[in-house]
């Protein structure tokens, strides 16, 4: 049996397949949520921007436009509205692109309703528990090679004058690694504490994909691309991830 939702929410389902859309509407309604629905990209964008909803389930292949364009518009106008992508595009490149554009999670079809509901609950719990950006401890600022992390501003500032915005999930991931600096944090722990997911109930690579996206934003070393090892988010074999000092060699 699925655990109760953390709270009743308004969920917008943007999905063109009638059978999948109706199945999601029924499952979410049975789970205690109020559900809005749209079947095209323009209708989904309008519903998300004009209505009050707490979460969007967004397909990518939609009539009238690409779901990623809808996501881009939502991130511009409603940056704190959580979005879970649901799509048949399962390639790693598609997942990374969706997460890089600001999706809170990425679920590949076909998926189990139980797992999707667990992800919905996890996102809603995280949103309810997360502070407003101005409430982030301003002391959580530290140097990285070529710049510094500023969690209060949710950004990376580089010495060449450029800046990279952090999503709320990236902010939370960096904050947790910073809070537990000097030790390796396992993927299961990160799933529980940052994503709010039970690792025994879901199979997902979202931690690794978020780390890859963060390394890209941090300009952290890419061994395959430029021969450099990561120096900010280190991989500790068999244990997980940890933050390293700018002058620290990656642990083996």
Q: What confidence score (pLDDT) does residue 55 get?
A: 95
Q: Which residues have C-beta within 8 Å of that of residue 226, sequence separation ≥ 6?
A: none
10-129 and 133-243 share one fold: no
Q: What confidence score (pLDDT) does residue 232 get?
A: 92
Separation of alpha carbons 206 and 41, rounded Å = 25
Q: What confidence score (pLDDT) does residue 139 get?
A: 52
**pLDDT per residue rounded down to tens, the chain (252 residues):** 344 445 689 999 999 999 999 999 999 999 999 999 999 999 999 999 888 899 999 999 999 999 999 998 998 888 889 999 998 887 888 888 888 888 999 999 888 999 999 999 999 988 776 655 434 454 578 899 899 999 888 899 999 989 999 888 898 899 999 988 889 999 999 988 888 888 887 778 889 999 999 999 999 875 545 557 888 999 999 999 999 865 444 444
Q: What confidence score (pLDDT) does residue 248 get?
A: 45
Q: What's the order of all strands across the beta sheet hosting 155-158? A: 141-144, 147-150, 155-158, 163-165
Q: Which residues have C-beta within 8 Å of that of residue 68, sequence separation ≥ 6?
A: 60, 97, 98, 101
Separation of alpha carbons 250 and 231, rounded Å = 6
CATH class of 10-129: alpha beta
Q: What confidence score (pLDDT) does residue 131 get?
A: 52
Per-domain boundaries in the chain: 10-129, 133-243
Q: What confidence score (pLDDT) does residue 226 get?
A: 54
Q: CATH classification of 133-243, choosing from 3.20.20.370, 3.40.50.1370, 3.40.50.300, 1.10.10.10?
A: 1.10.10.10
């Amino acid at each position: 049996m699925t655990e109760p939702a953390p709270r009743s929410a308004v969920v917008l389902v943007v999905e063109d397949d009638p059978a999948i859309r109706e199945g999601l509407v029924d499952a979410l309604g049975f789970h205690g949520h109020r559900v809005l629905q749209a079947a095209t990209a323009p209708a989904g964008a309008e519903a998300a921007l004009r209505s009050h909803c707490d979460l969007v389930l967004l397909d990518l292949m939609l009539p009238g436009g690409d779901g990623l364009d809808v996501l881009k518009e939502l991130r511009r106008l409603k940056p704190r509205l959580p979005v879970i992508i649901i799509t048949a595009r399962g390639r790693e490149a598609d997942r990374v692109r969706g997460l890089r554009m600001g999706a809170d999670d990425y679920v590949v079809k076909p998926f189990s309703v139980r797992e999707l509901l667990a992800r919905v609950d996890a996102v809603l719990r995280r949103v309810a528990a997360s502070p407003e950006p101005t409430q982030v401890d301003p002391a959580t600022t530290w140097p990285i090679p070529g710049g510094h992390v500023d969690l209060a501003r949710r950004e990376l500032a580089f010495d060449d004058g450029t800046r990279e915005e952090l999503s709320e999930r990236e902010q939370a991931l960096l904050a947790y690694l910073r809070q537990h600096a000097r030790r390796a944090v396992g993927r299961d722990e990160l799933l529980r504490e940052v994503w709010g997911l039970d690792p025994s109930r879901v199979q997902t690579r979202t931690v690794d994909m978020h780390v890859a996206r963060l390394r890209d934003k941090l300009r952290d070393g890419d061994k395959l691309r430029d021969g450099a090892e990561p120096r900010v988010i280190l991989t500790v074999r068999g244990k997980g991830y940890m933050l390293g000092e700018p002058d620290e060699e990656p642990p083996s």
